[in-house]
Structure 1
Amino acid sequence: MKQGPSRRLCLVAFAAVLCAACDTPGVTLVDPDVSNPEDQGTTIHVTLEDSALAEALGWSQGVPNAELQLHRMIEAFQPDHFYTDSTGHVHVPERMPGYHLVAAFKSITADEAAAAGAVPRVFADGLKTEFLGNTLQLALGGDQRGSLVISETYSGGRTYGIDYQWAAFWELYNNSDTTVYLDGMLLGRAFGGSSGAIFTCEELRQVREHPEGLVAFDFHQFPGTGHEHPVAPGQAVTIAVDAVDHSQAHPTLPDLTIADYELEGSGDPDNPDVPNVPPAGLNTDILGHGMQQFEFDTKFLALPVDPASLTTIPFGRYRWSLVPTDRIIDVQHAEYMHPESPPHPELFYPCPRWVNREFDRLEAASDKAFDHDNATSLQRRILRYTPDGRAILQDTDVSYFDFVIAKYSPGSVEY
C-alpha cells in the first residue's frame, strides 16, 4: 500500500517525539503490556477479633496460614482457595466484576491452644462484596459453646426426580454441660433467601437486616410450661414435619417415626406417639402440614416468648413477626451452591446479606436441588470431644464453615 505525503509526515513526527522522550530527563517509557502483578488484584488481611487472644497466639500482625475461599456468585460453585502468609496477608489476582463470596477460616491444634490456655478452637468470617478494591479486611470470630444449636436440617424430597415435601426435619443438639428445656421455645423460618426478583436489595433491607431482631414468616412453639421437655447435654432431638415412615413414599427418604416431635398442621397425618409442636406465627402452611423447609432460607431457634407480644411488620402481601435479638439462640442460613448449579438469573438481586452479621455472617452451601437420591442434609460439624466422649459442635456464626453436606442422620451427630 502506498503512503501519501501526509502519512509519511505523521510517522516522521511521531518518531521525533519518541526520540525526544528518550532523551528527556525524568521521562520513562513503559511498555503498556508490562506491569507489576502486585499492582493488580486485592490484598486481603485476615486478623482475629479477639486482640488479647491474637497476642497470646503470636498473631498480632495477622492470622498465619488461614484458609481463604473466593467464589464469583454468578458462576457454578467452585471456589478458589488461598492461604495467608505469616502476617495474615494474601494477594488475590484481579477478579472479574460481580458479587463475590469471601470466606476465611483458621483452626488451631491442641498444642497451639495450650499456649493460650484454651481447648482446640476454630475461627471464621465471611461476607459478600461487589469486589474488591486494593485491600480487604476480614476479622475472624471464634467458636462458642452456646446451649442449644441447630445441628441438622433436611428439606425432604425436593429434587428433579421427586417433589415430596413432607420428609423434612430439624435436629437440635444440646452443646452445653447442663440440661436445657424446650418448653415455650420457637422454631421458625425468618425472612431470607438467596436472591430477590421483585424487590431490590435496598428495598428488602428493612426486613432482611432489621436492627432489632429477625423478621419471621412462620414459626412453631414447643409445648410445656417450663420443665416438661428436657434435653440433656450431648442429646439430639429431631422435629419432623410429619413423623411417619417416608421411605414408604420413596426408598431414599428417611423413616421419621423415630422423631421426638412433629409439627402440627391442619391436615397432616398425625403420629399419636410423637408430641406435636403447634404453629404460633402469623402465617401457617396452606398445605396443612406445618412449616415448610427450604434449602435456601433462614432458620432460627428462639427462647420462650409470648407470640402475641411480638411486633407485627407488614411487608409485601404478608404480616411478619419481629423476634427480638435477645431471644434468638441460633440461626442457620443456606443458599444453593453446587458445582453444577446455574448462575443467578439476571433479573434476580443477590443481596450482600440476608440477616444481621450478629446472627450469621455467611450462608452455608446447600446442594439439595441437585442431590437426586435425596440422601443428604446440612449438618453442623463436630469440633472436638469432651473427655467422656461427648461431641462439641462447631458454632462460629458462619454457616458457610459450620455446616457440611452429608448423609442425613436424624437423632445423631456424626460429622
Structure 2
Amino acid sequence: MKNQLFIISLLMTIVFVACRKSDIKTVQSINLSVQVSYNTTDSLMGLSRANAAVKITNLLSGQENTTTTNNEGIAIFADIAPGNYTVTAAKNYTAEEFFTTTNITVPSNVAYNASETMVFNSSAHIRLVMQGGKIGNLVIKQYAYAGSNVSTGAAFRDQFVEIYNNSNETIYLDSLYFGNTWQSVTKITSGGVPLDWTTSTGMPTNIGDVNKDYVYAKYLFMIPGTGKQHPLASGKSVIIAATAINHTQDYVMNDGLVQGITDPTKTVDLSKADFETNLVEYNRAHYNGSGTFTPYKWDIDNPTIPNVDVIHIRSGNDWVLDATGREDFFIFKLSKSIKANEWPIYAVPGSPTSFCAQVKVADIIDAVEILTPLESNRVPKRLPIALDATGTFALGGQYSSQSIVRKTIKTIEGRRILQDTNNSANDFETKTKSDASKTESSFEK
C-alpha cells in the first residue's frame, strides 16, 4: 500500500511539473528592434543617429531596459516579455557639438526626443522619429504637486510651482501664461487612449492638427502687468502658490472656522509667494446656482500677494493639482495677449458641457508631465513629445510633502544653469521636502 501511495504521489508530481513546464513554454520571450531617426529637415543637417539612448518600460511590471543605438540608429532588445511598453529615444547635443555638426549657432543645448506606447505580442521592428524641442530661457524649476499629509499636513492646499530665469538676462513676467491640460484619465492598461479633439463640437478644420498642434487647458492663468512690471533677474525665481498663506500655522478659513495643522514639518510657508491663484471672484462671476454664492472655504485670498488673472477653468473651486500624478504644467507667452472672453474654448470630447482653452504647442516655453509612480496606473500621454518626451514623478507619491526639482548642470559665477532637455525623466529629481524659500536649499535634494 505504501508503495502504491508513493507511486501515485510521484506520478502526480511529474504531471504537476510537466504542466508547469507547459505553462512556461506558452509565454515566449520576444525581440524588439527600434530604428531611430530624425525628421526630414533635421536629417539633412547631418545629425548622427548613433548613441541615442533608447529605453523600454513594461507598463505592467515596471521592468526597464536601456541601450544605445548603433551607427545605423538601431537599438536591439532581446528576450523581453510580451506586453504593453513605453518606448523612448533621446539624443542631446551641447551648443558646441551642435555647431560642429551643423555649423549652426544655438544659444543652448539642443535635445531630440521620441516616445511611443505600444503593445508587443510578438517580435517587432518599430521606427521612432525624434523631434527637437524648444529650449526656453524660463524653466519650471520646482513643482510641488504632491501635497502633504491629509490629516497632519495641508493635503492639496500647499501646492505651488517655482519658475526660474535660466538665461543671463532679465526677463519680464508680465503676460506670462501658465496652466494644466485636460486629458483622458483611463489607464492605458484598461484601454485608455488620448482624447480626440477633432470630435469636439465647433472645432475648426483649418487650423492644423488639433490633436498634435495644440493642448487643451483645464486651468489657464496669466501674470498681469504693464509690460515691465515684474522683472525676473538672471538666476532668480518666483513662487506661484495655490494659496499664499503660512500652511505651517492654524488659520481662519473663508467660512470662519479654523483650519488646524497637526504637524508643521509636513508642509510649507507660502505667505511670501510672489503670486497666488484665487478663483473666488471668477467663480462668483460665473455662478449660475439658485442660492447665494459661497466662496470655497480653503481658497483664501492673501491681500499682500498679487493674484494672477484667471483666464479659464474647466471646473472646480480652487487650483488643485492631481496629487496622484495624472498632471502636467506649462508656461507660455504670446506676442499679443488675448482677452479672457476671446480665448478659443472647446468642449471636451464626449462631454459637451465641459470646456477647455486651446493653446498652441508652438507658443509653449517649458512644460513638465507628471506620471503616476506605479506604471500600471499610467494614463495616456498628456503633452506632445516636443514638450516633454517622458514624464516624471515624486518618488513618495501623493501627499508625501515631496516635490520634483530640476537638476543643475553647471554653475557660472554663482549662477546655476538648470538642465533642460525636454525630457523630465532626465531633467528632474525628487526633493524629499518641497522648499519655497528660493534659497540654495530649494535646489537639488
Normalised by the length of structure 1, the TM-score is 0.73
Q: Distance in 2 between matches of 1:141 and 1:388?
A: 33
Contact kept in structure 2, 1:190 and 1:215, CA below 8 Å? yes
Q: Distance in 1 between matches of 2:193 and 2:173?
A: 36
| Cα-to-partner distance string for 1:57-80 (whole Å, 9 max, x where unaligned) | xx3xx222x4332211122x4422
Matched AA of 2:223: F
Secondary structure at the counterpart of residue 343 of structure 1: helix
Over 3 Å counting, the alpha-carbon distance change for 1:380 and 1:331 in structure 2 is same
Over 3 Å counting, the alpha-carbon distance change for 1:390 and 1:126 in structure 2 is farther
Over 3 Å counting, the alpha-carbon distance change for 1:112 and 1:395 in structure 2 is closer
Is residue 177 of structure 1 aligned with residue 168 of structure 2? yes
Contact kept in structure 2, 1:334 and 1:365, CA below 8 Å? yes
1:123-142 maps to which residues of 2 (within 5 A)?
A: 123-131=112-120, 134-141=124-131
Over 3 Å counting, the alpha-carbon distance change for 1:144 and 1:393 in structure 2 is farther
Give the root-mean-square deviation of aligned CA atoms. Answer: 3.6
| Cα-to-partner distance string for 1:131-187 (whole Å, 9 max, x where unaligned) | 385323334445754122222211253557667111100111122333222222222
Is residue 262 of structure 1 aligned with residue 298 of structure 2? no
Matched AA of 1:147: N
Identical positions, percent: 22
| Cα-to-partner distance string for 1:87-143 (whole Å, 9 max, x where unaligned) | 543310243333212223445689967855777665543332223853233344457
Partner of 1:71 in structure 2?
57
Partner of 1:333 in structure 2?
369
Is residue 278 of structure 1 aligned with residue 309 of structure 2? yes
Over 3 Å counting, the alpha-carbon distance change for 1:217 and 1:53 in structure 2 is same
1:366 CA displacement: 4.0
Partner of 1:312 in structure 2?
345
Contact kept in structure 1, 2:137 and 2:167, CA below 8 Å? yes
Matched AA of 2:221: H
Partner of 1:297 in structure 2?
327
Matched AA of 2:220: F
Contact kept in structure 2, 1:149 and 1:173, CA below 8 Å? yes
Over 3 Å counting, the alpha-carbon distance change for 1:255 and 1:213 in structure 2 is same
Q: Distance in 2 between matches of 1:186 and 1:110?
A: 28
Q: Distance in 1 between matches of 2:367 and 2:91?
A: 21
Partner of 2:405 in structure 1?
379
Partner of 2:284 in structure 1?
none
Over 3 Å counting, the alpha-carbon distance change for 1:357 and 1:409 in structure 2 is same
1:11-22 maps to which residues of 2 (within 5 A)?
A: none
| Cα-to-partner distance string for 1:11-33 (whole Å, 9 max, x where unaligned) | xxxxxxxxxxxxxxxxxxxxxxx
Partner of 1:219 in structure 2?
220
Contact kept in structure 1, 2:183 and 2:195, CA below 8 Å? no
Q: Distance in 1 between matches of 2:145 and 2:327?
A: 11
Contact kept in structure 1, 2:170 and 2:233, CA below 8 Å? yes
Partner of 1:360 in structure 2?
388
Over 3 Å counting, the alpha-carbon distance change for 1:144 and 1:320 in structure 2 is closer
Q: Distance in 2 between matches of 1:299 and 1:120?
A: 22
Q: Distance in 1 between matches of 2:82 and 2:32?
A: 13
Contact kept in structure 2, 1:103 and 1:124, CA below 8 Å? yes
Contact kept in structure 1, 2:135 and 2:421, CA below 8 Å? no
Matched AA of 2:423: V
Q: Distance in 2 between matches of 1:216 and 1:110?
A: 33
Q: Which runs of 5+ in 2 are unaligned?
A: 1-27, 201-209, 250-260, 281-295
| Cα-to-partner distance string for 1:12-57 (whole Å, 9 max, x where unaligned) | xxxxxxxxxxxxxxxxxxxxxxxxx9x95012234456436655xx
Is residue 322 of structure 1 aligned with residue 358 of structure 2? yes
Contact kept in structure 1, 2:50 and 2:68, CA below 8 Å? no
Partner of 1:23 in structure 2?
none
1:239 CA displacement: 0.4
Secondary structure at the counterpart of residue 281 of structure 1: strand
Q: Distance in 2 between matches of 1:284 and 1:164?
A: 19
Over 3 Å counting, the alpha-carbon distance change for 1:69 and 1:358 in structure 2 is closer
Q: Distance in 1 between matches of 2:375 and 2:192?
A: 21
Secondary structure at the counterpart of residue 403 of structure 2: strand
Partner of 1:253 in structure 2?
267
Partner of 1:90 in structure 2?
75
Contact kept in structure 1, 2:146 and 2:397, CA below 8 Å? no
| Cα-to-partner distance string for 1:302-350 (whole Å, 9 max, x where unaligned) | 324322222221222412221233433222211112xxx3733xxxx94
> Quick check: which has more Rg, 1 or 2?
1
Q: Distance in 2 between matches of 1:240 and 1:343?
A: 31
Q: Distance in 2 between matches of 1:280 and 1:122?
A: 31
Contact kept in structure 2, 1:190 and 1:299, CA below 8 Å? yes
Partner of 1:148 in structure 2?
138
Q: Which runs of 5+ in 1 are unaligned?
A: 1-36
Q: Distance in 2 between matches of 1:87 and 1:155?
A: 41
Contact kept in structure 1, 2:156 and 2:399, CA below 8 Å? no
Is residue 392 of structure 1 aligned with residue 421 of structure 2? no
Partner of 1:165 in structure 2?
156
Match of residue 404, structure 1, among 404, 429, 433: 429
